[in-house]
A and B are shown apart, each in its own frame.
Chain A
Amino acid sequence: MPRDLLVSQSAPIRLLNKTSHILDAVCTWLEATTLSHTMKTIEWTIPAVQTVHILAVATVVTPVLMIDLRLLGIGARELAIGSIANRFFPYVWWPLPVLLATGIALIAAEPSRTLKNPIFLLKMGLLIAAAGVTLGCQIPLRRDAEFWDRNAARRRTVRLMAIASLSLWIAIIFAGRWIAYVQGS
Protein backbone atom coordinates (compact mmCIF):
# COMPACT_ATOMS: atom_id res chain seq x y z
CA MET A 1 0.00 0.00 0.00
CA PRO A 2 1.40 3.50 -0.87
CA ARG A 3 2.74 5.25 2.19
CA ASP A 4 0.71 8.47 1.79
CA LEU A 5 -2.58 6.52 1.76
CA LEU A 6 -1.58 4.73 4.94
CA VAL A 7 -0.90 8.03 6.67
CA SER A 8 -4.20 9.57 5.57
CA GLN A 9 -6.15 6.60 6.90
CA SER A 10 -4.36 6.33 10.18
CA ALA A 11 -5.11 9.90 11.32
CA PRO A 12 -8.83 9.40 11.98
CA ILE A 13 -8.20 5.92 13.36
CA ARG A 14 -5.61 7.33 15.76
CA LEU A 15 -8.10 9.98 16.86
CA LEU A 16 -10.73 7.28 17.41
CA ASN A 17 -8.30 5.21 19.48
CA LYS A 18 -7.39 8.25 21.53
CA THR A 19 -11.06 9.07 22.22
CA SER A 20 -11.74 5.53 23.28
CA HIS A 21 -8.71 5.64 25.64
CA ILE A 22 -10.03 8.85 27.20
CA LEU A 23 -13.49 7.26 27.52
CA ASP A 24 -11.96 4.21 29.20
CA ALA A 25 -10.11 6.47 31.62
CA VAL A 26 -13.30 8.42 32.42
CA CYS A 27 -15.19 5.16 33.04
CA THR A 28 -12.45 3.81 35.30
CA TRP A 29 -12.37 7.08 37.25
CA LEU A 30 -16.18 7.13 37.60
CA GLU A 31 -16.24 3.48 38.74
CA ALA A 32 -13.93 4.44 41.63
CA THR A 33 -16.04 7.35 42.93
CA THR A 34 -18.03 7.10 46.17
CA LEU A 35 -21.20 7.92 44.23
CA SER A 36 -20.67 4.95 41.92
CA HIS A 37 -19.88 2.68 44.85
CA THR A 38 -23.01 3.78 46.75
CA MET A 39 -25.24 3.32 43.68
CA LYS A 40 -23.85 -0.18 43.13
CA THR A 41 -23.95 -1.44 46.71
CA ILE A 42 -27.29 -0.06 47.93
CA GLU A 43 -29.67 -1.81 45.61
CA TRP A 44 -32.66 0.55 45.84
CA THR A 45 -30.69 3.62 44.75
CA ILE A 46 -30.81 2.92 40.99
CA PRO A 47 -34.60 2.47 40.68
CA ALA A 48 -35.15 5.40 43.09
CA VAL A 49 -32.95 7.75 41.05
CA GLN A 50 -34.55 6.46 37.83
CA THR A 51 -38.01 7.25 39.23
CA VAL A 52 -36.98 10.82 40.08
CA HIS A 53 -35.44 11.09 36.57
CA ILE A 54 -38.70 9.95 34.93
CA LEU A 55 -40.80 12.32 37.07
CA ALA A 56 -38.48 15.18 36.05
CA VAL A 57 -38.91 14.11 32.40
CA ALA A 58 -42.68 14.32 32.95
CA THR A 59 -42.23 17.86 34.31
CA VAL A 60 -40.44 18.83 31.09
CA VAL A 61 -42.45 17.05 28.39
CA THR A 62 -45.95 17.90 29.62
CA PRO A 63 -45.44 21.68 29.40
CA VAL A 64 -43.64 21.14 26.07
CA LEU A 65 -46.70 19.27 24.80
CA MET A 66 -49.10 21.96 26.07
CA ILE A 67 -47.08 24.69 24.29
CA ASP A 68 -46.68 22.63 21.09
CA LEU A 69 -50.39 21.75 20.92
CA ARG A 70 -51.21 25.46 21.15
CA LEU A 71 -48.61 26.32 18.49
CA LEU A 72 -50.10 23.66 16.20
CA GLY A 73 -53.55 25.14 16.81
CA ILE A 74 -54.88 21.85 18.25
CA GLY A 75 -55.34 22.79 21.90
CA ALA A 76 -56.18 25.90 23.96
CA ARG A 77 -56.95 27.98 20.87
CA GLU A 78 -58.87 30.49 22.98
CA LEU A 79 -55.64 31.38 24.81
CA ALA A 80 -52.95 33.58 23.21
CA ILE A 81 -49.62 31.92 22.39
CA GLY A 82 -47.91 34.41 24.71
CA SER A 83 -50.16 33.44 27.62
CA ILE A 84 -49.55 29.68 27.18
CA ALA A 85 -45.83 30.32 26.74
CA ASN A 86 -45.62 32.42 29.94
CA ARG A 87 -47.44 29.74 31.88
CA PHE A 88 -45.50 26.70 30.71
CA PHE A 89 -42.01 27.67 29.51
CA PRO A 90 -40.55 28.06 33.04
CA TYR A 91 -41.51 24.44 33.80
CA VAL A 92 -39.56 23.25 30.77
CA TRP A 93 -36.32 24.62 32.26
CA TRP A 94 -36.41 24.25 36.03
CA PRO A 95 -36.37 20.41 36.11
CA LEU A 96 -33.13 20.50 34.09
CA PRO A 97 -30.78 20.51 37.14
CA VAL A 98 -32.74 17.53 38.53
CA LEU A 99 -32.43 15.71 35.19
CA LEU A 100 -28.70 16.43 35.06
CA ALA A 101 -28.05 15.38 38.67
CA THR A 102 -30.04 12.13 38.42
CA GLY A 103 -28.62 11.47 34.95
CA ILE A 104 -25.04 11.85 36.23
CA ALA A 105 -25.79 9.55 39.19
CA LEU A 106 -27.14 6.90 36.80
CA ILE A 107 -24.04 7.22 34.59
CA ALA A 108 -21.80 6.89 37.66
CA ALA A 109 -23.63 3.68 38.64
CA GLU A 110 -22.82 2.02 35.30
CA PRO A 111 -20.34 4.17 33.34
CA SER A 112 -19.57 1.68 30.58
CA ARG A 113 -23.22 0.78 29.99
CA THR A 114 -24.07 4.44 29.37
CA LEU A 115 -21.06 6.42 28.13
CA LYS A 116 -20.03 3.76 25.60
CA ASN A 117 -23.62 3.19 24.49
CA PRO A 118 -24.47 4.60 21.02
CA ILE A 119 -28.09 5.18 22.12
CA PHE A 120 -26.87 7.35 25.00
CA LEU A 121 -24.87 9.51 22.58
CA LEU A 122 -27.92 9.72 20.31
CA LYS A 123 -30.04 10.81 23.30
CA MET A 124 -27.58 13.60 24.19
CA GLY A 125 -27.57 14.80 20.57
CA LEU A 126 -31.37 14.83 20.46
CA LEU A 127 -31.43 16.69 23.79
CA ILE A 128 -29.19 19.46 22.42
CA ALA A 129 -31.40 19.72 19.33
CA ALA A 130 -34.56 19.89 21.48
CA ALA A 131 -33.03 22.62 23.65
CA GLY A 132 -32.14 24.56 20.48
CA VAL A 133 -35.68 24.34 19.08
CA THR A 134 -37.16 25.34 22.46
CA LEU A 135 -34.90 28.40 22.75
CA GLY A 136 -35.58 29.30 19.12
CA CYS A 137 -39.27 29.39 19.92
CA GLN A 138 -39.02 31.01 23.35
CA ILE A 139 -36.51 33.84 22.79
CA PRO A 140 -38.53 35.82 20.18
CA LEU A 141 -41.56 35.64 22.52
CA ARG A 142 -39.63 37.47 25.24
CA ARG A 143 -39.45 40.60 23.10
CA ASP A 144 -42.86 40.26 21.49
CA ALA A 145 -45.58 37.96 22.89
CA GLU A 146 -47.35 38.05 19.51
CA PHE A 147 -44.16 37.31 17.53
CA TRP A 148 -45.27 33.94 16.12
CA ASP A 149 -48.73 35.25 15.27
CA ARG A 150 -47.66 38.29 13.25
CA ASN A 151 -47.79 36.76 9.76
CA ALA A 152 -48.48 33.53 7.86
CA ALA A 153 -44.80 32.72 7.32
CA ARG A 154 -44.09 32.88 11.05
CA ARG A 155 -47.15 30.77 11.84
CA ARG A 156 -45.85 28.13 9.40
CA THR A 157 -42.34 28.27 10.91
CA VAL A 158 -43.57 27.89 14.47
CA ARG A 159 -45.80 24.97 13.50
CA LEU A 160 -42.76 23.20 12.04
CA MET A 161 -40.86 23.96 15.23
CA ALA A 162 -43.67 22.45 17.29
CA ILE A 163 -43.62 19.26 15.20
CA ALA A 164 -39.81 19.10 15.50
CA SER A 165 -39.98 19.64 19.27
CA LEU A 166 -42.62 16.93 19.78
CA SER A 167 -40.73 14.43 17.61
CA LEU A 168 -37.46 15.18 19.39
CA TRP A 169 -38.96 14.69 22.86
CA ILE A 170 -40.62 11.42 21.88
CA ALA A 171 -37.28 10.25 20.45
CA ILE A 172 -35.47 11.32 23.66
CA ILE A 173 -37.85 9.29 25.85
CA PHE A 174 -37.61 6.26 23.55
CA ALA A 175 -33.81 6.51 23.46
CA GLY A 176 -33.76 6.74 27.26
CA ARG A 177 -35.58 3.44 27.57
CA TRP A 178 -33.47 1.79 24.85
CA ILE A 179 -30.21 2.55 26.71
CA ALA A 180 -31.19 -0.36 28.99
CA TYR A 181 -31.49 -2.76 26.06
CA VAL A 182 -28.49 -1.85 23.89
CA GLN A 183 -25.05 -2.98 24.99
CA GLY A 184 -22.24 -0.43 25.16
CA SER A 185 -19.30 -1.25 22.87
Chain B
Amino acid sequence: MSKGLEVLHTFLQALQNSAVATAIREGESLFPWIECVHVLALTLVIGSIAIVDLRVIGLNSRDRGVVQMMTLALPVTWSAFVVAVITGSLLFSSNATGYAHNTFFQAKLALLALAGINMGAYHLFLGKDAGDWRTASLTPWRARVAGALSLCLWIAIAVCGRWIGFTLGGPA
Protein backbone atom coordinates (compact mmCIF):
# COMPACT_ATOMS: atom_id res chain seq x y z
CA MET B 1 0.00 0.00 0.00
CA SER B 2 1.36 3.44 -0.88
CA LYS B 3 2.03 5.98 1.85
CA GLY B 4 -0.89 8.18 0.79
CA LEU B 5 -3.39 5.33 0.88
CA GLU B 6 -2.07 4.25 4.26
CA VAL B 7 -2.66 7.74 5.71
CA LEU B 8 -6.16 7.76 4.17
CA HIS B 9 -6.92 4.35 5.65
CA THR B 10 -5.75 5.44 9.12
CA PHE B 11 -7.92 8.53 8.86
CA LEU B 12 -11.01 6.58 7.77
CA GLN B 13 -10.47 4.07 10.58
CA ALA B 14 -10.19 6.89 13.14
CA LEU B 15 -13.30 8.57 11.72
CA GLN B 16 -15.21 5.30 11.95
CA ASN B 17 -14.12 4.81 15.56
CA SER B 18 -15.13 8.33 16.62
CA ALA B 19 -17.91 8.76 19.16
CA VAL B 20 -20.32 10.29 16.62
CA ALA B 21 -19.77 7.51 14.06
CA THR B 22 -20.21 4.83 16.72
CA ALA B 23 -23.43 6.44 17.94
CA ILE B 24 -24.85 6.50 14.38
CA ARG B 25 -23.77 2.91 13.73
CA GLU B 26 -25.05 1.46 16.97
CA GLY B 27 -28.08 3.68 17.60
CA GLU B 28 -31.55 2.32 17.00
CA SER B 29 -32.83 5.07 14.73
CA LEU B 30 -30.10 7.68 14.28
CA PHE B 31 -29.06 6.39 10.82
CA PRO B 32 -32.57 6.43 9.30
CA TRP B 33 -33.32 9.89 10.70
CA ILE B 34 -30.12 11.35 9.23
CA GLU B 35 -30.93 9.53 5.98
CA CYS B 36 -34.39 11.17 5.94
CA VAL B 37 -32.84 14.63 6.16
CA HIS B 38 -30.27 13.65 3.50
CA VAL B 39 -33.04 12.56 1.10
CA LEU B 40 -35.04 15.75 1.76
CA ALA B 41 -31.94 17.88 1.11
CA LEU B 42 -30.96 16.06 -2.07
CA THR B 43 -34.44 16.34 -3.58
CA LEU B 44 -34.20 20.11 -3.09
CA VAL B 45 -30.63 20.29 -4.46
CA ILE B 46 -31.56 18.36 -7.63
CA GLY B 47 -34.96 20.03 -8.00
CA SER B 48 -33.61 23.57 -7.72
CA ILE B 49 -30.66 22.83 -10.02
CA ALA B 50 -33.16 21.42 -12.52
CA ILE B 51 -35.12 24.71 -12.41
CA VAL B 52 -31.95 26.59 -13.46
CA ASP B 53 -30.74 23.94 -15.94
CA LEU B 54 -34.10 23.68 -17.71
CA ARG B 55 -34.18 27.47 -18.07
CA VAL B 56 -30.60 27.55 -19.36
CA ILE B 57 -31.39 24.78 -21.86
CA GLY B 58 -34.48 26.78 -22.84
CA LEU B 59 -37.10 24.17 -21.99
CA ASN B 60 -39.09 26.30 -19.56
CA SER B 61 -39.61 29.79 -18.15
CA ARG B 62 -38.40 31.37 -21.41
CA ASP B 63 -40.34 34.51 -20.49
CA ARG B 64 -37.95 35.04 -17.57
CA GLY B 65 -34.24 35.74 -17.78
CA VAL B 66 -31.67 33.14 -16.73
CA VAL B 67 -30.37 35.47 -14.03
CA GLN B 68 -33.85 35.85 -12.54
CA MET B 69 -34.35 32.09 -12.35
CA MET B 70 -30.93 31.76 -10.71
CA THR B 71 -31.69 34.32 -8.01
CA LEU B 72 -34.90 32.43 -7.37
CA ALA B 73 -33.47 28.90 -7.20
CA LEU B 74 -29.79 29.07 -6.19
CA PRO B 75 -30.33 30.09 -2.52
CA VAL B 76 -32.37 26.89 -2.15
CA THR B 77 -29.65 24.88 -3.94
CA TRP B 78 -26.86 26.10 -1.67
CA SER B 79 -28.76 25.80 1.63
CA ALA B 80 -29.91 22.30 0.74
CA PHE B 81 -26.42 21.35 -0.50
CA VAL B 82 -24.87 22.30 2.86
CA VAL B 83 -27.43 20.12 4.66
CA ALA B 84 -26.83 17.25 2.20
CA VAL B 85 -23.04 17.43 2.73
CA ILE B 86 -23.34 17.47 6.54
CA THR B 87 -25.84 14.59 6.69
CA GLY B 88 -23.93 12.71 3.98
CA SER B 89 -20.68 13.01 5.96
CA LEU B 90 -22.41 11.74 9.10
CA LEU B 91 -23.78 8.70 7.23
CA PHE B 92 -20.32 8.14 5.69
CA SER B 93 -18.59 8.27 9.08
CA SER B 94 -20.71 5.38 10.41
CA ASN B 95 -18.98 3.00 7.98
CA ALA B 96 -16.15 5.08 6.49
CA THR B 97 -13.96 2.21 5.26
CA GLY B 98 -16.97 0.40 3.78
CA TYR B 99 -18.16 3.44 1.82
CA ALA B 100 -14.65 4.34 0.69
CA HIS B 101 -14.29 0.91 -0.95
CA ASN B 102 -17.77 1.03 -2.53
CA THR B 103 -17.60 1.58 -6.31
CA PHE B 104 -20.84 3.58 -6.39
CA PHE B 105 -19.66 5.85 -3.57
CA GLN B 106 -16.41 6.52 -5.47
CA ALA B 107 -18.39 7.17 -8.67
CA LYS B 108 -20.72 9.51 -6.80
CA LEU B 109 -17.80 11.59 -5.47
CA ALA B 110 -16.26 11.74 -8.96
CA LEU B 111 -19.59 12.84 -10.49
CA LEU B 112 -20.02 15.50 -7.77
CA ALA B 113 -16.55 16.83 -8.64
CA LEU B 114 -17.50 16.90 -12.36
CA ALA B 115 -20.75 18.74 -11.56
CA GLY B 116 -18.71 21.26 -9.58
CA ILE B 117 -16.22 21.74 -12.44
CA ASN B 118 -19.09 22.10 -14.92
CA MET B 119 -20.73 24.74 -12.73
CA GLY B 120 -17.44 26.58 -12.22
CA ALA B 121 -16.76 26.55 -15.97
CA TYR B 122 -20.26 27.82 -16.64
CA HIS B 123 -19.87 30.77 -14.30
CA LEU B 124 -16.30 31.56 -15.34
CA PHE B 125 -16.33 31.16 -19.10
CA LEU B 126 -19.73 30.37 -20.47
CA GLY B 127 -22.09 32.46 -18.45
CA LYS B 128 -20.08 35.70 -18.24
CA ASP B 129 -22.62 37.48 -20.38
CA ALA B 130 -25.60 35.94 -18.57
CA GLY B 131 -26.61 39.47 -17.56
CA ASP B 132 -27.36 40.17 -21.22
CA TRP B 133 -29.80 37.25 -21.22
CA ARG B 134 -32.10 38.99 -18.78
CA THR B 135 -34.61 39.39 -21.56
CA ALA B 136 -33.28 36.93 -24.13
CA SER B 137 -35.45 33.85 -24.41
CA LEU B 138 -32.67 31.66 -25.82
CA THR B 139 -29.18 31.12 -24.46
CA PRO B 140 -26.04 30.40 -26.55
CA TRP B 141 -25.51 26.72 -27.40
CA ARG B 142 -22.43 26.42 -25.13
CA ALA B 143 -24.58 27.39 -22.14
CA ARG B 144 -27.26 24.91 -23.19
CA VAL B 145 -24.69 22.12 -23.35
CA ALA B 146 -23.48 23.00 -19.84
CA GLY B 147 -27.09 22.97 -18.59
CA ALA B 148 -27.85 19.57 -20.13
CA LEU B 149 -24.57 18.15 -18.79
CA SER B 150 -25.39 19.42 -15.30
CA LEU B 151 -28.84 17.80 -15.39
CA CYS B 152 -27.37 14.45 -16.53
CA LEU B 153 -24.64 14.57 -13.88
CA TRP B 154 -27.12 15.20 -11.07
CA ILE B 155 -29.39 12.37 -12.20
CA ALA B 156 -26.35 10.08 -12.28
CA ILE B 157 -25.42 11.26 -8.76
CA ALA B 158 -28.91 10.29 -7.53
CA VAL B 159 -28.57 6.87 -9.21
CA CYS B 160 -25.19 6.24 -7.53
CA GLY B 161 -26.57 7.36 -4.18
CA ARG B 162 -29.41 4.86 -4.33
CA TRP B 163 -27.06 2.08 -5.45
CA ILE B 164 -24.75 2.67 -2.49
CA GLY B 165 -27.63 1.70 -0.21
CA PHE B 166 -28.19 -1.48 -2.21
CA THR B 167 -24.60 -2.64 -2.42
CA LEU B 168 -23.53 -1.89 1.13
CA GLY B 169 -26.05 -3.97 3.06
CA GLY B 170 -28.53 -2.83 5.68
CA PRO B 171 -32.18 -1.95 4.97
CA ALA B 172 -32.61 -0.55 1.50
Contacts and interface: CB of A to CB of B under 8 A. Distances in A.
* Most chain B beta carbons < 10 A, residue from A54, A58, A177: A58
B36 A75 contact: no
B44 A62 contact: yes
Contact of A58 (B35, B50, B75): B50
Given A47-B162, A55-B46, A180-B172, A66 B73 contact: yes
B14 interface: no
B158 A173 contact: no
A176 B42 CA distance: 14
Interface in A163-181: 170, 173-174, 176-178, 180-181
A177 B91 CA distance: 14
A76 B43 contact: no
Interface string B39-69: 1101110111011000000000100100000
Nearest to B75: A75
Nearest to B44: A62
Interface residues of A, number: 28
Contacts of B46: 55, 58, 62
Contacts of B166: 46-47
A50 B162 contact: yes
B100 interface: no
Contacts, number: 77
A30 interface: no
Interface string A52-94: 0011011101110110010000011001000000010000000
A33 interface: no
A47 B155 CA distance: 13
* Most chain A beta carbons < 10 A, residue from B64, B158, B162, B163: B162
A177 B39 contact: yes
A51 interface: yes
Contacts of A178: 32, 36
Contacts of B171: 180-181
Contact of A51 (B47, B61, B158): B158
B76 A66 contact: yes
